[in-house]
Structure 1
Amino acid sequence: MESYKKAYIAGGCFWGMEDLFRVQPGVTDTEVGYIGGENEKPTYRNHPGHAEGIELTYDPAKTSFREILDYFYRVHDPSTMNRQRNDRGLSYRSAIFIQDEEERKVAEEVIQLVNDSKRWSGKVVTTLESFSKFWPAEPEHQDYLLRNPNGYTCHFERFGTFL
């Protein structure tokens, strides 16, 4: 487990993102939570400025940060500001929470690939934000779509790889 890495992303409602990423090759664990906001110990009812994000634990021998971002851009619309389908507001923004300069470089390269593909109707509006702290969401939000298979999601695979 020591060789595993973590990635922090947000792309709308965290339930759907978690459900799709949990089964991706190389992803060993997922956790939904709040990131990038104003208060400590945010909750579903009180998370000003935080995105509904996901913490991905992955095995870099089986997948890469680049491949994670490729999939990220295939399962949510990164061209809509603070919105995924019916979900609107800063909580639902598209964001990558950068931990180091290598992640920033990879993120910028993948964004360029996505923009150059012209698969989305507009340019990528994903913010690249410095990672600060990830706050796990309440237990009822973890693995939500496993426990509620007919629950709400606006995430699905839209395209093949950008890579």
Structure 2
Amino acid sequence: MAEEIATLAGGCFWCVEAVFDDVIGVGSVESGYIGGKVVNPTYKQVCGGDTGHAEAIRIAFDPEVIGYGDLLDIFFHVHDPSQLNRQGNDVGTQYRSAIFPHSPEQEAEARAAIVRAQPDWPGPIVTTIEPDAPWYPAEDYHQEYFAREGMGNGYCVAVVAPKLAKFRKSYANRLKANAGA
């Protein structure tokens, strides 16, 4: 079976990219922008909050190894889907929690994942399901940011590393590092 694509926005793309880079069945993760009104937006434009884009990741995955629903379960575990237009101190619509399905089947699975995740959150999940839209890869310096900058960047130390540690503890059986071990 061919690779499928999942497009998810869960706050800063550095955080969610680092998590999904570790997941078995994921071939690649690309940071980028989706859901806005400006063609070929820059990071500076998106951070200004006026383009309508979300910082997001595009995941290429093998559905015979990991299902789309499993990716969504991880997504809801590693960010706070109950925060409207923010993740912690990152505030604005560009940091919204959103799913951009690529098919009616993905949309149905996204709706089911929200229902599954709701009991884990004290407030309502505000994750939106938005139509697929043009995808704009983020600038090269954003790609694999945590892998390159990691513990040398204060934001990564304070925000990305704890999310990654939480994921690795909770999903040890889904880590590429543990595959076949």
TM-score (structure 1 length as normaliser): 0.92
Deviation at 1:120, TM superposition (A): 1.5
Q: How many equivalent pairs are there?
A: 158
- Matched with 1:126 is 127
Deviation at 1:45, TM superposition (A): 0.8
- Matched with 2:85 is 82
Are 2:56 and 1:53 equivalent residues in the alignment? Answer: yes
Moved over 4 A (4+): 158-161
Q: Percent identity?
A: 41
Deviation at 1:121, TM superposition (A): 2.3
More helix by share: 2
More strand by share: 1
Amino acid at match of 2:67: S
SS at match of 1:30: strand
- Matched with 1:11 is 10
- Matched with 2:137 is 136
Alpha-carbon distance in structure 1 between the residues aligned to 2:103 and 2:18: 26
Equivalent pair of 2:28/2:60 in contact (CA under 8 Å): yes
TM-score (structure 2 length as normaliser): 0.83
Alpha-carbon distance in structure 1 between the residues aligned to 2:117 and 2:64: 24
Instruction: Map residues 12-161 of structure 1 onto 2, 5 A cutoff.
Output: 12-47=11-46, 48-115=51-118, 117=119, 119-150=120-151, 151=153, 152-153=155-156, 154-155=159-160, 156=163, 157=166, 160=170
Equivalent pair of 2:17/2:30 in contact (CA under 8 Å): yes
Alpha-carbon distance in structure 1 between the residues aligned to 2:21 and 2:134: 21
Amino acid at match of 2:112: E
SS at match of 1:37: coil
Alpha-carbon distance in structure 2 between the residues aligned to 1:93 and 1:19: 18
Alpha-carbon distance in structure 1 between the residues aligned to 2:134 and 2:110: 19
Alpha-carbon distance in structure 2 between the residues aligned to 1:18 and 1:55: 9
